[in-house]
Amino acid sequence: MAKSRSATLAAVLLCLLFAVTLSGCGKSSSAASSTTTTSSGIKMAVAAGNQQVTVSWDDPSGTSASNATYNVYCSNTVPDTSLKDDGTLIASNVTSPFVHTGLINGQTYYYFVTKVTGNTVGPASLSASAVPMAALPAAPSGMTISTGIQASNGLGTVTLTIPKADSSLTYNVYWSTNSGDIKSIGTKIANAFTISGTTASFTHNNLAIDGNTTYYYVVTAVGDGESSASPVLSAKPVFTKAVSYSATGPTPSQYGSPKSIETDIANQSVTITWGAPNSSPSVMEASTSQTYTIYYWDSSGSQSSAIKIPNISSDTTSLVINSGLTNGKTYNFYVAAVQNVLDSTTGATISTKETPSAILSVVPQAKVLAAPSAVATSAGDQQVSLSWTKVSDPSGGTVKYNVYCTTNLPTSGTTQANWSLVGTTTATSFVHSGLATGKTYYYVITSMSDQSSESAATWTSYQVSMKL
């Protein structure tokens, strides 16, 4: 008998060593422990984090036992908790909470706990699972794009600017001369942006200025993980010379196209911002006036059918277009600097000349929020309580959260249609009630606002699950 106890103790120690040195956990190879179907009364919760899961529990029946501790078990498959060792013992004689670290993001881990009083191991709690994952930052939003010419070699440049950058993050650029899924087909430039204060910028040099080559860009934010891609921005670097005007009366000096043109997309909206012209008339030429005209058309049309917004004051350098635009549709924009030569006696317009900027293609789209992270669950009487971290909307919108649920184990073929929306809330917690005992419920939480689109979700996996 002493030899048997010694062998058992050695096996437990070996299991503990094995669990600590591996990043995952598997089922125990032995099922020799006694079985029970008695409910433990322990209310357990799990919360997924980056490469870790926090297991916490509440045991009303254990509060009077000062010497009570707990064992925590983990499995890569759904455990049968009537078998108290149907999983790997990863921690013994611990109290709540317990953090299981060194895990693999995207892999499912199932947990249950047992109470230990003296030498007696009580019945197991119900199991719960979590999928560790990095808290992904939101895709960059509010970016602007502008073109230029390199003085050193005369080649083109495209500059991307993030006006509200997070200094704790880095930013990747993906670019291509072909449209489509730029993140998949494009060239990646990691950690491309230089951050100064709250602004991040990246300049792409040595680009063609043949008037035919368009450059497409998306940007991702990188923290613990990489965000989804930003909306596509595109630009076509062109070399535009200042134009000399001549007419009866005063002769204006050169008045060229705007030095730069930038865009910022929003929900069914595009903001166009431009720089001052390359040159401007002399202050002595009183009989001239300058305005701007914006032209834009959607990709299904042509430049000849462009909508025209004329007579924009020369003191204006930005305009919001938020009427008649459709999210997801590509629109082409350019700004023309307009020079009007006036008769010095009558004030009548003698001549009008326009010099266009480069043409930019943009896609209006509601900005996408980050997904809630650190989602936690705990079981109650025919209900599951969920909580998660708060998500902020940089656009100032009121954030609400969608709670999706399924009772079918998500697989590679699972889509959003396989999940049911069970609730929407502005709080960072939700109680899903009226549930059936004995079923496992899987959950995904997304965020959205009146200013931003719904955050990305991985429908083939899930953030947490709970078996009642």
CA-nearest of 240, 340, 327, 223 to 281 is: 340
For the chain, the domains span: 2-130, 139-239, 245-264+277-363, 371-467
pLDDT cut 90: percent of the chain above it: 21
pTM value is 0.54
Question: Is the pLDDT higher at 299 or at 422?
Answer: 422
CA-nearest of 331, 353, 343 to 271 is: 331
pLDDT cut 70: percent of the chain above it: 79
- Examine the pLDDT at 391 and tell me if it is beyond 70: yes
Question: Is the pLDDT higher at 63 or at 195?
Answer: 195
Which CATH architecture is the domain 139-239 placed in? Sandwich (2.60)
| 422-467 tens-digit pLDDT | 999 999 999 999 999 888 899 999 998 887 778 877 787 777 777 7
The whole-number average pLDDT for the span 250-255 is 42
Check residue 154 and give its pLDDT: 76
| 229-241 tens-digit pLDDT | 888 888 887 654 3
- Which residues make beta-bridge pairs with 240? none
- Examine the pLDDT at 242 and tell me if it is beyond 50: no
| Contact partners, residue 291, CB within 8 Å, separation at least 6 | 310, 311, 312, 313, 314, 338, 340
| 201-239 tens-digit pLDDT | 999 999 987 767 889 999 999 988 888 888 888 888 765
Domain 245-264+277-363 has CATH 2.60.98: no
Question: Is the pLDDT higher at 289 or at 206?
Answer: 206
- Examine the pLDDT at 48 and tell me if it is beyond 80: yes
Check residue 280 and give its pLDDT: 52
**Range picked from 298-307, 361-370, 396-405 for highest mean pLDDT:** 396-405
The whole-number average pLDDT for the span 295-320 is 87
pLDDT class of 265 with cuts at 50, 70, 90: confident
- Examine the pLDDT at 30 and tell me if it is beyond 60: no
- Interatomic CA distance for residues 105 and 34, integer angstroms: 33
- Examine the pLDDT at 4 and tell me if it is beyond 50: no
* Omega of the bond leading into 97 within 30 degrees of 0 (cis): yes
**Range picked from 147-151, 308-312, 396-400, 464-468 for highest mean pLDDT:** 308-312
- Examine the pLDDT at 245 and tell me if it is beyond 70: no
Are 156 and 215 in contact by the 8 Å Cβ rule? The answer is no
Check residue 236 and give its pLDDT: 80
The whole-number average pLDDT for the span 302-320 is 88
43: tokens are 């209310």
Report the range of poorest mean pLDDT among 83-87, 206-210, 378-382, 442-446: 83-87
269-274, strands of its sheet edge to edge: 261-266, 269-274, 318-321
Identical fold between 245-264+277-363 and 371-467: yes
Amino acid code (one letter) for 301: G
| Contact partners, residue 443, CB within 8 Å, separation at least 6 | 375, 377, 384, 386, 403, 404, 405, 432, 462, 463, 464, 465, 466
- Please tell me whether residue 412 adopts helix, strand or coil conformation: coil
- Which residues make beta-bridge pairs with 148? 157
Check residue 72 and give its pLDDT: 93
Amino acid code (one letter) for 112: F
The whole-number average pLDDT for the span 103-116 is 89
Which superfamily is assigned to 371-467 in CATH? Immunoglobulins (2.60.40.10)
CATH for the 2-130 domain, from 1.10.275.30, 2.60.40.10, 3.40.50.800, 3.40.50.300: 2.60.40.10
